[in-house]
Every structure is written in structure tokens, then in C-alpha cells.
Amino acid sequence: MDFVNREEIERKLARVLSKDLRVELDKLLNYLGDPPNLANVPPEYWQAGWKDIQKDVEPVLVDALLQQADDAMIRIGIGVDFDNVNRAAVNWARQHSEEVMQQIWLRTHEYTLDVLSRYSGVGEVIAQGYEEGLTIREISERLERMFSPVRAERIAVTETTRAVVEGERAYVAELERETGQRMIPIWMTANDELVCPICAPKNEKPITNGDYPPAHPNCRCGVGWEFPKDGAL
Ligand SMILES: [Zn+2]
């Protein structure tokens, strides 16, 4: 399955994510201070810190979805009212990017608490005769991992997959609504040596359980469509 602009979308998404995560890490380190103190971080940071990132992510996802929906329309060759697809795209991207960012932020928060507990737990650890307390530098190095370009890249790949699959589905949903033509979703892996053992067996098989790609982080699978074999609508 080739997506014309897939790499470009991934790159764009990875770029905004890694830039925004970096900004948020700098804010966090600033709040924490030296020596780091979690009480210095205002609750709003964890409640709403993701909203600025969402603002940048959302339009990229809308774009990816619409490009793919357009691609699906050309491939399948039946026109639909694209205004409806547009509306679906905007609604989905708003809701989905909010969910994704909240999830990412929750994990980041938990990880930060974990890292800092190892800092403040020094006394306890020394009592066990085993030095595990972190220095400020180690804390910031560990936090960098959670705000890193590598993580940004992984999120970008996974969410690009979700947006392009959603684009396929948005077009087909509109097609089915307007014409009654049913389409059968087919799982399409990238079919290269990078495909994982989870996805490889699904390649070119119908999706019957409602579980669409991505199947896991970094999944690059997509969806294709077949007309029902019996010619049924
Ligand atoms: Zn996959």
C-alpha cells in the first residue's frame, strides 16, 4: 500500500512534536529548579501542557486524513460529497488529537514522578546499601528521553497510520451512506522486511473484527478495499 505523502506527513508530525516536546521539557526543568522540587511545578502544567502541542498536531492529522480520503476516492473511483468528509476529518482530528495528547501527557507525568521519586528516595536507597539516587543532571537526562525526538518519531508514525486509515474509512463511510455500496476493508502491510510478526499474518486479509491499523506503536499498515465478491450492495 503506498501513501503518496506518508513520509512527508510523518516528517512534518515528528518535527512539530519534537519541537513542542522540547519546549515543554524546558518549561518543566525551569519549574523544577535546582535542586528539583515537584511542588514548584504548577498543576496547570500537567492539566493543560499538552494543549499547545495539540494545536500543532491537529492540522497535520486533518491534512493526512483528507489526502488519504481523496486518494481512496480516486482509487475506488466513485465520487462523494467531500464537504461531509471534510467535516468528519475536522471532528475526528480534534477529538483524536486531544485523546492522544492526554495519553502521552499522562505517561510523561507518570514517568516524571517515577524519575523524581528516585531522586527524593535517596535516603531510603542508601539504607539498602545501594546508591540509586539521581543527580540533577541524571534527572534531566532521563526526562529528555520522555521528550525526545525518538519518542516524537514513534508517535508520528503511529498517528500518521491512524489518520490515513481514518481517511480511508471516512471516504468509505460517506460512500456507503450516499450509495449503499458496501466495501470490505482489507489489511495491507507495507509488505517489507520491517513488518512485524503481529501484522505480517494479517496482510491482504479482510478486517472482520473492527480492529484497524495501527496494531501497535510504529505500525505502518494501511487499509485497502474490495467490493463484495457476490456483487451485493
Ligand atoms: Zn502493522
Least confident of 4-18, 35-49, 72-86, 132-146: 132-146
pLDDT of residue 2: 52
Q: Tell how far the Cα of 202 is from the centroid of ligand 1, in angstroms.
A: 9
Q: Tell how far the Cα of 83 is from the centroid of ligand 1, in angstroms.
A: 30
Which is nearest to 3 in space by CA: 203, 220, 227?
A: 220
Return the DSSP state at 216. S
The pLDDT of 25-52, averaged and rounded, is: 91
| pTM, entire model | 0.87
Q: Tell how far the Cα of 205 is from the centroid of ligand 1, in angstroms.
A: 13
Q: Tell how far the Cα of 11 is from the centroid of ligand 1, in angstroms.
A: 19
End-to-end Cα spacing for the chain: 25
Parse the chain into domains and list their residue ranges: 6-181
Compute how many other C-beta atoms are within 10 angstroms of the C-beta atom of residue 200: 11
Q: Which residue has the cell 519546549?
A: 23
Q: Tell how far the Cα of 192 is from the centroid of ligand 1, in angstroms.
A: 11
Interatomic CA distance for residues 208 and 106, integer angstroms: 32
Interatomic CA distance for residues 57 and 52, integer angstroms: 9
Q: Tell me: the pLDDT tens digits for 142-183?
A: 899 899 999 999 999 999 999 999 999 999 999 999 999 999
Q: Tell how far the Cα of 132 is from the centroid of ligand 1, in angstroms.
A: 38
C-beta separation of 194 from 220 below 8 A: yes
Interatomic CA distance for residues 157 and 190, integer angstroms: 13
Confidence class for position 233, pLDDT limits 50, 70, 90: low
Q: Tell how far the Cα of 137 is from the centroid of ligand 1, in angstroms.
A: 37
Q: Tell how far the Cα of 140 is from the centroid of ligand 1, in angstroms.
A: 33
Mean pLDDT score of the chain: 88
Interatomic CA distance for residues 17 and 23, integer angstroms: 10
Q: Tell how far the Cα of 162 is from the centroid of ligand 1, in angstroms.
A: 11
Residue 11 pLDDT more than 80?
Answer: yes
Residues near 17 by Cβ (< 8 Å), separated by ≥ 6? 53, 56, 57, 152, 155, 156
Residue 139 pLDDT more than 90?
Answer: no
Residue 125 pLDDT more than 50?
Answer: no
Residue 220 pLDDT more than 60?
Answer: yes
Q: Tell me: the pLDDT tens digits for 41-79?
A: 999 999 998 999 999 999 999 999 999 999 999 999 999
Q: Tell me: the pLDDT tens digits for 188-197?
A: 998 676 778 8
Report percent pLDDT > 70 for the chain: 90
Q: Tell how far the Cα of 188 is from the centroid of ligand 1, in angstroms.
A: 8
Residues near 70 by Cβ (< 8 Å), separated by ≥ 6? 82, 167, 171
Greater pLDDT, 231 or 97: 97
